[in-house]
Structure 1
Amino acid sequence: MDVITLGETMVLLTPQSTGLMRYANSFSTRVAGAESNVAIGLARLGHRAGWISRLGNDELGRKVHSFIRGEGVDVSRVTFDDSANTGLFFKEKLTANEWRVKYYRANSAASQMKLTDLDESYIEKAKYLHVTGITPALSSDCYETALTAIDYARKNGVKVVFDPNLRRKLWDEEKARKVLLEFVSKADIVLPGIDEATFLFGKLEVEELAHRFYERGAATVIMKLGKNGAYVLSEKTEDYVDGFQVSQVVDPVGAGDGFSAGVLSGLIDGIGLKESVSRGNAVGAMVTMAEGDVEGLPERDRLQDFMNSKVRDDVER
């Protein structure tokens, strides 16, 4: 297995009309979750990815399970829960450039993940374990489960990749800072966005923010800067990596997960840190040009065409 990740995936409902959701008469349904988005992104690029989670033993849970399995992700460690439901969330397109997301995930099946959902022998076979800050925010059991998964990975020489992926509504700020910094200290690679870095360390220059993560124990820090690309800090590398500008953003949600998948793909392929981050920038840009969290995730041939072509439809460097 190349990458194993764990976390909640929900069914996404989106009004088929633009404007306030109260006026919507019809909705499309999709499957989305930060961790499974990364796993699907990796699978599309030809890597082996596994996803650990809990789903409600209901029709929505079976929809999620079937979809992720159909994308080539190993779901053999997913548990169905008879006592809790699969989570839901809505994505409201208020205007062409304004989105609003509302979650209905309290007491969901995934929020009740437990240590018994983990199999150390499964994690030890991976090259990377990918964890986000969403999972420990869901419940105390999820916190313990995510932390134990990291301990299993470190014990067996599996590199830990941590995306803070801050969700302010899930917990109070003091607890969020404490837990996120705890996870940063246990990670080999950290993938913070600029807003998350500012939340943790205050308003500082990009370079200084990256060094704050580095000082906390992360061997590699990759600061996501949106359309401006990324900033990379490690023992041997400290530099900006240019992003890919798109002429029209259709849906920005999921771009960060695409970025993570692209970076991990490059690291698995052994193409070098900056080259891996460039791949992440490209995947993230491509995600923004399609509706939905995973619909824009590219397969390898399309990604290579996107990165290699000097003249792109709808895209400019």
Structure 2
Amino acid sequence: MTANGRTSTAPDVADVVALGESMVTFLPSRPGRLADVPSFDRAIGGAESNVACVLAAAGHSVRWVGRAGADGFGDHLVEAIGGYGVDVRAVRRDPARPTGIYFRTAGDRSTDAHEVAYYRAGSAASAMSVDTMDLDAIRSGRILHLSGITPALSADCLGLTRELTARRPGRPLVSFDVNHRPGLWRDAAHGHGPEVLLELARGADLVFVGDDEARDAWGLDGPEAVRAALPEPELLVVKQGATGATAFHGASGPSGADQVTSVPALRVDVVAAVGAGDAFAAGFLSATLRDLPVRDRLRHGHLMAAAALTVPGDLATPPARDHADRLAALDDTAWGRLRLGPGWTQDGERPGDRTGEGADEEVRTP
């Protein structure tokens, strides 16, 4: 039995457990305003389930835990996520609340050149709570991955996230992607988003945050300022967009000073700027599970992000592990020359074999 009196459905240990809302996504059949698009293609979307799917595709054992409606959209959601090899046995189905859905235009979600219409109010996922979820299944991974989207959904979701980020002996390594979504918090009566997200991030072991969202949410400018506001996590990753990413980790001697590792982003022929943040987190977590050096964890994050950026949707086929390892092992000069375009994860060429003395000015694949 679980702590909340329910039978645990998935007690076996997974590499990663990801908890959060996933929704059915409707993608436009052509560019244009939502009012003008005649038809849509169905897909799935959700920060935590995106991370779960990428990790499963990369060969890890992964469990996604959430709530979906006992409806056709919920069936599709669970089947689609399970199709990536993700364990969905601990997903709860709610007969009284619907599965969340949303529509978006083909524009870039990171700019104003897009429209998104969410239909998630009162969704099954908004009923996630300490009492309605299997806490044993949620805590059954080596890593528990959460995001700041979940606590924005309802007071119950916030209570669940607070429970999972409370520092207690024996908990899994807690990964938290800040994912500040001002629109979700705008009408929330259960807390002020920036304050809540800072509180939750302080309870995590590993935190991902974009420098842009840290600036918008907390008024912090630069990675060092973010670290000063978040000294508690053992490892803090500040994503700096096209510039790269900086990780603060460990302590270097009696002074307790951080080690700081920065890795520049790759040059990428971008198809669509969607899903890159989730893919970066998945790449970093994958390398963390393998206990790789922090520099290589950042590089694997960039490589997974490049995979997402070079496909139209949120989810991309990740590079084979040996392919990613070869690229992550490039020297700094070769890494800086690397440029990735559509199809690079499927390419049989080994760009790492074409680097070194006498290499071309730019290493490009395919």
Larger Rg: 2
> Among 174, 179, 185, which residue is 2:196 paired with?
179
User: Per-residue displacement from partner, 1:199-231 (whole Å, max 9, x unpaired)?
Assistant: 3431423322233222xx112110011222201
Q: Give yes or no for contact 2:52–2:64 (8 Å, CA) kept in 1.
A: yes
Q: 1:203 to 1:120 in 2, by over 3 A?
A: closer
Counterpart secondary structure, 2:131: helix
* Letter matched to residue 182 of structure 1: E
Q: 1:147 to 1:49 in 2, by over 3 A?
A: same
Taking the aligned partners of 2:327 and 2:250, their CA distance within structure 1 comes to 30
User: Per-residue displacement from partner, 1:45-98 (whole Å, max 9, x unpaired)?
Assistant: 111111111101111000000011111111111011111111111120248984
Taking the aligned partners of 1:85 and 1:120, their CA distance within structure 2 comes to 22
Q: 1:276 to 1:308 in 2, by over 3 A?
A: closer
Q: Give yes or no for contact 1:41–1:298 (8 Å, CA) kept in 2.
A: no
Taking the aligned partners of 2:339 and 2:154, their CA distance within structure 1 comes to 45
Relative contact order (alpha carbons < 8 A, sep ≥ 6): 1 or 2 greater? 1
Match of 1:13 in 2: 26
Taking the aligned partners of 1:94 and 1:148, their CA distance within structure 2 comes to 37
> Among 164, 184, 199, which residue is 1:170 paired with?
184
How far off its partner does 1:106 sit?
0.6
Q: Give yes or no for contact 1:14–1:27 (8 Å, CA) kept in 2.
A: yes
**1:257 aligns to 2:275 (yes or no):** no
Taking the aligned partners of 1:205 and 1:149, their CA distance within structure 2 comes to 28
Q: Give yes or no for contact 1:160–1:189 (8 Å, CA) kept in 2.
A: yes
User: Per-residue displacement from partner, 1:100-133 (whole Å, max 9, x unpaired)?
Assistant: 3332111111111122333333244311111100
How far off its partner does 1:297 sit?
4.2
Counterpart secondary structure, 1:208: helix
* Letter matched to residue 197 of structure 1: A
How far off its partner does 1:258 sit?
0.2
Match of 2:208 in 1: 191
> Among 212, 224, 227, which residue is 2:239 paired with?
224
What is the TM-score of this pair, normalised by structure 1?
Answer: 0.91
**1:204 aligns to 2:215 (yes or no):** no
Match of 1:269 in 2: 290
**1:87 aligns to 2:100 (yes or no):** yes
User: Per-residue displacement from partner, 1:263-309 (whole Å, max 9, x unpaired)?
Assistant: 00000011112211110011012101101111354453554466578
Taking the aligned partners of 1:120 and 1:90, their CA distance within structure 2 comes to 32
Taking the aligned partners of 2:34 and 2:322, their CA distance within structure 1 comes to 37
Q: Give yes or no for contact 2:17–2:140 (8 Å, CA) kept in 1.
A: no
Q: 1:100 to 1:289 in 2, by over 3 A?
A: farther
**1:111 aligns to 2:116 (yes or no):** no
**1:51 aligns to 2:64 (yes or no):** yes
Match of 1:99 in 2: 114
* Letter matched to residue 62 of structure 2: A
Taking the aligned partners of 2:108 and 2:297, their CA distance within structure 1 comes to 34
* Letter matched to residue 265 of structure 1: S
Match of 2:173 in 1: 159
How far off its partner does 1:138 sit?
0.1
Q: 1:94 to 1:270 in 2, by over 3 A?
A: closer
Give the helix-richer structure, 1 or 2: 1
> Among 133, 156, 170, which residue is 2:148 paired with?
133
Counterpart mapping for 1:32-71 below 5 A: 32-71=45-84
Which segment drifts farther, 169-178 or 219-228? 169-178
Flag structure 1 segments of 5+ consecutive residues without an equivalent: none
Flag structure 2 segments of 5+ consecutive residues without an equivalent: 1-13, 252-258, 345-361
* Letter matched to residue 224 of structure 2: E
**Root-mean-square deviation over aligned CA pairs:** 2.3
Identity %: 35
Taking the aligned partners of 2:55 and 2:304, their CA distance within structure 1 comes to 11
Counterpart secondary structure, 1:24: coil
How far off its partner does 1:143 sit?
0.8
Counterpart secondary structure, 2:17: strand
How far off its partner does 1:313 sit?
5.6
What is the TM-score of this pair, normalised by structure 2?
Answer: 0.79
